[in-house]
Amino acid sequence: MGCGASQAAVVPGGAPADGKDVPGSGRGTALTGVSDPTPVRKTKSSKAPAGAPPGALLAGRTLEEQFSDDQLRQWNVSKLLQRLAAAAADDGAASLPTWPARGAGLHAAALLSRRAGAAGAAGVGVGEEDMAADSRKQVHECAVSLEFLLEFAREIPDEWRTGQVVQDLVKGYTAPRQSRFTDMMPCRHVKRPDYFISHKWDSPFHYMVRSVRDHPSGAVPSEVYVWVDIFAVNQHPGQEQDDDLAQLNTAITNASGGTLVVLDHQAGPLGRVWCLFEIWITVRDKGLGALHLLTYGFTNNDIRDCFQAIDVKTARATNEADRLRILRYIERSYESLDEFNEMLKLLFLLGHTHPHCTDEGPRARLNCLGPRTLSAAGSCSTTLRLRLYHVWLALLASCCAQPAFTHGHAPVV
């Protein structure tokens, strides 16, 4: 498996299984790697929308009758990957083309449909001849461009949570080859990460995307690469998934810009053991400066409540075996899980509130407990660390009595 420079993807359903040319597709036309950008939507019209899969109106049936929502979404993702491949083939520095050549999408659609039909009958992967030999990347090299993430999000309904994106789109799309999503992307659009994204799967997918989009202010989306687990980790249980998860540390430490923790007002990631583990690895291996909490609209009270609720012992994970393995790993580094909890709270409060506390009084004293104090606290006794933590809570309570200020930035809808 690997990142083919011109990777064809699977379009499940709606394709003739005999591999014959689809009427109107143009016989003998090669895959150009470019497609019509118009997203395919379900419609009751008797006329297929531009860029619809060929054969969409076979036997007089409408798109609604022939294709499911999931099939049409996967079709649109296929077109997105083809546009990425076209940009990479034409110019290595090119960004995602907004309006590719008119009509090329129909030819690509015909070939994709024929391949999908043949693969479905044979039970094998699709487009193997387009794969680059020995090009399967290490997990820490599987960040996707912010530009791709934004384009991908256009195909996702507003109400979908990240877990549903994984289950209904990512896993379905990669099922024929049991691969990572990034293994099906052009190599030039999969690189080492600028940011590692720590987020919760049962939070809205678009909230995560907007938060990540707005953090690197002024950055060019095609030049920023983010490591997102749903694309970088094989989502199909097995040895490859285990290998990817075992390399998670390297993905965190290789993110040049640090870790972005996407917090919602329920502080969801702080209740997930994987997210706490990612936060801990970031601070342990790269320092507090590498940890960025995306907390739009949070007040001091919100932050205090979120951090006081941290308890790795009750943090959840989808896989119970993963949860127990992470807890054992932490226990080898700390005297107890309670010590880990208290230290993590201290790290959060010292690191996150300090940059915003510039007033006189309690906020000035908070400033004195900034990064320098924290660096010394890392090697001090448990008693001193806890004392610092309680002093911090008292000062933070004083700050909360003053006019509240907000943290972070507002995701632009």
In angstroms, the CA 269 to CA 55 distance is 44
User: For a pLDDT cut of 70, what percent of the chain falls above it?
Assistant: 52
- pLDDT score, position 130: 38
330 pLDDT exceeds 80? Answer: yes
Check if the beta carbon of residue 89 is closer than 8 Å to that of residue 34. no
Phi, psi of 42 (to 5 degrees): -70, 140
Cβ neighbors of 140 (< 8 A, separation 6 or more) are: 192, 193, 227, 247, 250, 251, 253, 254
Identity of residue 116: A
Q: How many Cβ atoms from other residues are within 10 Å of residue 370's Cβ? A: 16
Phi-psi region of 318 (alpha: psi -120 to 50; beta: other; left: phi over 0): alpha
Q: Is 108 within the bounds of a domain?
A: yes
Mean pLDDT of the chain: 66
DSSP one-letter string for 116-134? HHHHHHHT--S-GGGSPTT
Q: Is 260 within the bounds of a domain?
A: no
> How many structural domains is the chain composed of?
1
In angstroms, the CA 35 to CA 104 distance is 5
- pLDDT score, position 90: 58
How many Cα atoms sit within 13 Å of 396 on the Cβ side? 27
Confidence of residue 399 (pLDDT cuts 50, 70, 90): low
pLDDT digit string, tens, across residues 365-393: 444 444 444 444 444 444 445 555 565 56
Check if the beta carbon of residue 54 is closer than 8 Å to that of residue 24. yes
Q: Is 189 within the bounds of a domain?
A: no
Question: Strand pairing of 225-227 and 143-145?
Answer: antiparallel
pLDDT digit string, tens, across residues 11-32: 333 333 333 333 233 322 222 2
Check if the beta carbon of residue 53 is closer than 8 Å to that of residue 15. yes
User: For a pLDDT cut of 90, what percent of the chain falls above it?
Assistant: 15
| Residue that is written with structure tokens 């097995």 in the block | 238
Confidence of residue 119 (pLDDT cuts 50, 70, 90): very low
Check if the beta carbon of residue 146 is closer than 8 Å to that of residue 231. no
| Structure token digits, residue 93 | 């520095």
Structural domain including 59 reads 1-131
Sign of CA dihedral 111, 116, 117, 122: positive
Q: Is 385 within the bounds of a domain?
A: no
